[in-house]
Amino acid sequence: MALSYSPKVMDQFKKMTNNGRIEDADGIGKVGNPVCGDVMWIYIKVKDNIITECKFETFGCVAAIATSSLGTELVIGKTLEEALEVTDKRIIDLLGGLPKEKHHCSVLAEDGIRKAIEDYRSKQK
Amino acid sequence: MGNKIYYLDNNATTKTDPAVLEAMLPYFGEEYANPSGVYSFAQGAKKAIDDAREQAASFLNADPKEIVFTSGGTESDNMAIKGIAYANTDKGRHIITSKIEHHAILNTCKYLEKQGFEVTYLPVDKYGIVDPGELKKALRKDTVLVSIMYANNEIGTIQDISTLARVTKEAGAYFHTDAVQAAGKTALDVKELGIDMLSLSGHKFHGPKGTGLLYLRKGVRIHSFMQGGHHEFNRRAGTENVPGIAGIGKACAIAAAHLADNNDMKRIKALRDSLEKGILEKIPDVQVNGHPGKRVDNTLNVSVRHIEGEAMLIHMDFEGICASSGSACTSGSLEPSHVLLACGVDHETAHGSIRFSFSKYSSQEDVDKVMEVLPGITQKLRSMSPMWNERKKNR
Ligand code: FES
């Protein structure tokens, strides 16, 4: 199967920002993909309700890597409430679309971010 | 475009040999006659088919009448399996194959299961080998056909076809082998193998796409699904693809000569071996899939643990390298390679599998290029793999 990724996906995959882990993260979102068995971990640092730092580790395909990378870019500098509005649909749109069989990969990014925020909030209580 | 290509995906398809192309051209042009014509103008086209049949027969040590030209490996496989199944329903409806067959076999068998046939899928060991003892146990009175591939497309593992065929014959069933990945890589002698049917695909050994053949041993009757004229000795109706047939015939002749060229066969194996060695030396935590020895000399399948194949392939593609992967993410079905899973490879390791497959057109440059870029790619992808980083931490 030849893959037809948009140029924006390829660019994001190539430049790959924010990959790696944050050792002293305030929140970690660990999500797995039941469809193809991929794994994504999202790390956040939070200060005054604002995400100051966000990184990802992904074991997955080009789409999974590109969407996690873009997802982290989108939430840095945002309030937690704003970050929760980053949906997979928005990520796909910004990437100029994804092949249909790759849509599930972008869901990982949305879920990962949400879980990381939940993790942070649960620790604040 | 214009960037240099390092083509290491020869199990997917091969470059058409220029001599093959040349052999085909007249039949797209001046020699356009229908070979069934009775006039002398048709003689050229007819002779092209006869010659090709001779070339194919001699490539397989068969009789020319035992060669049926088809549109490819998939059609040959369909023809053999359905053809035998439907021609022998009076005897039984049981078929045996293996878990690691190409989809052309597996999906044909699945189709037949829906039609009321029964299929046994033999397991393989961790190297992908079918045990003749297992076959013996699976054979029944109502078994009409056994189909086991000669060499596997993903891992290259070669089966002991002559033993499997003998066991089958003893039980009174027909034996077919999908030899699509063996052609041009190892000598094929249908008599020595003792088989009834064998499938080939032209484009896997420097012939044209859209061409294939089925060796059908004299006396083996199959049910025909293509109704029409009397072409191919009543076994496959339809005006012959004359240029294609001329092309696959030529490809057979060229492959036969190449197999006899020991130096070049050794060169190809040495390239594969040096890439294998290089990867094992330079990249930690890698496993080679398939049998170390009983494996076609052009194929290397490795799993780079904790990273995913598609990401590796695309990074290599940036550098002009063409390879393939058994990762779930590349499969379209989002299932990892059924071949690797059948060999007991776990999902995660199957995810990180990549296959490099060589041909006579491969060179040291291809190997060097992979060795230049792959270690860096794997390092980069591993640095952001949660599994890899966990593993490192737990050390
Ligand atoms: S992560 Fe497997 S298909 Fe995207």
- What per-residue confidence (pLDDT) applies to B242? 98
Comparing CB atoms, the residue among A1, A59, A104 nearest residue B385 is: A59
Number of domains in chain B: 2
The verdict on residue A100 lying in a domain is yes
Cβ separation of A3 and B328 shorter than 8 Å? no
DSSP state of B169: H
Mutate to test the interface with A, among B334, B351, B377 (most CBs of A within 10 A): B334
- What per-residue confidence (pLDDT) applies to B110? 98
Q: What is the pLDDT of residues B220-234, one digit of tens each?
A: 999 998 889 889 988
Q: Helix, strand or coil for residue B328?
A: helix
Mutate to test the interface with B, among A43, A57, A61 (most CBs of B within 10 A): A61
CATH number at B286 reads: 3.90.1150.10
Last residue of a domain, one of B210, B235, B259: B259
The string of DSSP letters for B346-392 reads -HHHHHTEEEEE--TT--HHHHHHHHHHHHHHHHHHHHT-HHHHHHH
Task: Measure the CA dihedral A106/B338/B76/B219, to 10°.
Answer: -170
In chain A, which residues have their Cβ closer than 8 Å to the Cβ of B346?
none
What whole-number distance in Å separates Cα of residue B174 and Cα of residue B183? 21
With cut-offs at 50, 70 and 90, classify the pLDDT of residue B391. Answer: confident
Q: Which tokens belong to A44?
A: 């956040």
Last residue of a domain, one of B197, B232, B259: B259
Mean pLDDT (chain B) is 96
* B205 and B297 both lie in a single domain: no
With cut-offs at 50, 70 and 90, classify the pLDDT of residue B213. Answer: very high
* B303 and B229 both lie in a single domain: no
If one counts every other C-beta atom within 10 angstroms of the C-beta of residue B320, the result is 14
- Does the pLDDT at position B258 exceed 90? yes
The verdict on residue A1 lying in a domain is no
> Does ligand 1 have an atom closer than 6 angstroms to the CB of A62?
no
Mean pLDDT across B88-113: 97
What whole-number distance in Å separates Cα of residue A85 and Cα of residue B90? 66
* B165 and B281 both lie in a single domain: no
Q: What is the pTM of this model?
A: 0.94
Last residue of a domain, one of B218, B236, B259: B259
Least confident of B152-156, B292-296, B331-335, B348-352: B331-335
- Does the pLDDT at position B63 exceed 80? yes
Q: Report the percentage of chain A scoring pLDDT > 70.
A: 96
Q: What is the pLDDT of residues B270-307, one digit of tens each?
A: 999 999 999 999 999 999 999 999 999 999 999 999 99
Q: Helix, strand or coil for residue A88?
A: helix
- What per-residue confidence (pLDDT) applies to B288? 98
With cut-offs at 50, 70 and 90, classify the pLDDT of residue A101. Answer: confident
Residues of B with CB under 8 A from a CB of A: 306-308, 310-311, 314, 318, 327-332, 334-336, 347-348, 351, 383-389
Closest CA to A72 of A83, A85, A63: A83
Size of interface A-B (CB pairs under 8 A): 76
Number of alpha helices (DSSP H) and beta strands (DSSP E) in chain B = 15, 13
A36 among known catalytic residues: yes
Closest CA to B321 of B264, B376, B265, B267: B376
Question: How far apart are the CA of A12 and the centre of ligand 1, in A?
Answer: 16
Mean pLDDT (chain A) is 91
With cut-offs at 50, 70 and 90, classify the pLDDT of residue B89. Answer: very high
Q: What is the pLDDT of residues A39-65, one digit of tens each?
A: 999 999 999 999 999 999 999 999 999
Comparing CB atoms, the residue among A19, A39, A60 nearest residue B329 is: A60
Question: How far apart are the CA of A103 and the centre of ligand 1, in A?
Answer: 9
- What per-residue confidence (pLDDT) applies to A3? 64
- Does the pLDDT at position B203 exceed 50? yes
In chain A, which residues have their Cβ closer than 8 Å to the Cβ of B387?
39, 59
Comparing CB atoms, the residue among B308, B336, B347 nearest residue A60 is: B308
What whole-number distance in Å separates Cα of residue B161 and Cα of residue B173? 15
Chain B's closest residue to A5, CA to CA, is B314
Q: What is the pLDDT of residues B319-341, one digit of tens each?
A: 999 999 988 888 777 789 999 99
Least confident of A29-43, B238-252, B351-365: A29-43
- Does the pLDDT at position B1 exceed 70? no
CATH number at A115 reads: 3.90.1010.10
Q: Which residue is catalytic, options A36, A59, A93, A123?
A: A36
* B331 and B230 both lie in a single domain: no
Mean pLDDT across B113-131: 98
Closest CA to B234 of B347, B353, B65: B65
With cut-offs at 50, 70 and 90, classify the pLDDT of residue A2. Answer: low
Decide: A110 and A87 in contact? Cβ < 8 Å: yes
The verdict on residue A36 lying in a domain is yes
With cut-offs at 50, 70 and 90, classify the pLDDT of residue B395. Answer: low
- Does the pLDDT at position A1 exceed 50? no
Residues of A with CB under 8 A from a CB of B: 1, 3, 5, 10, 13-14, 16, 19-21, 30, 35-41, 56-65, 101, 104-105
- What per-residue confidence (pLDDT) applies to B2? 56
Number of domains in chain A: 1
- Does the pLDDT at position B238 exceed 80? yes
The verdict on residue B229 lying in a domain is yes
Mean pLDDT across A81-99: 93
The verdict on residue A12 lying in a domain is yes
Mutate to test the interface with B, among A12, A31, A36 (most CBs of B within 10 A): A36
Residue A58: what are its φ and ψ, rounded to 5°?
-135, 130
Q: What is the pLDDT of residues B13-46, one digit of tens each?
A: 999 999 999 999 999 999 999 999 999 999 999 9
The verdict on residue B1 lying in a domain is no
With cut-offs at 50, 70 and 90, classify the pLDDT of residue B264. Answer: very high
Q: Which residue segment(s) compose the domain that B302 sits in?
A: 6-14+262-393
The verdict on residue B364 lying in a domain is yes
Q: What is the pLDDT of residues B376-387, one digit of tens each?
A: 999 999 999 988
Cβ separation of A19 and B384 shorter than 8 Å? yes
* B198 and B236 both lie in a single domain: yes
> Does ligand 1 have an atom closer than 6 angstroms to the CB of B310?
no
Chain B's closest residue to A66, CA to CA, is B311
Cβ separation of B384 and A58 shorter than 8 Å? yes
Would you tell me the crossing angle of helices A62-75 and A7-15 to the nearest 10 degrees? Answer: 70
Q: Which residue segment(s) compose the domain that A107 sits in?
A: 7-124
Q: What is the pLDDT of residues B169-193, one digit of tens each?
A: 999 999 999 999 999 999 999 999 9
* B52 and B34 both lie in a single domain: yes
What whole-number distance in Å separates Cα of residue B16 and Cα of residue B204? 9
> Does ligand 1 have an atom closer than 6 angstroms to the CB of A9?
no
Decide: A44 and A75 in contact? Cβ < 8 Å: yes
The verdict on residue B310 lying in a domain is yes
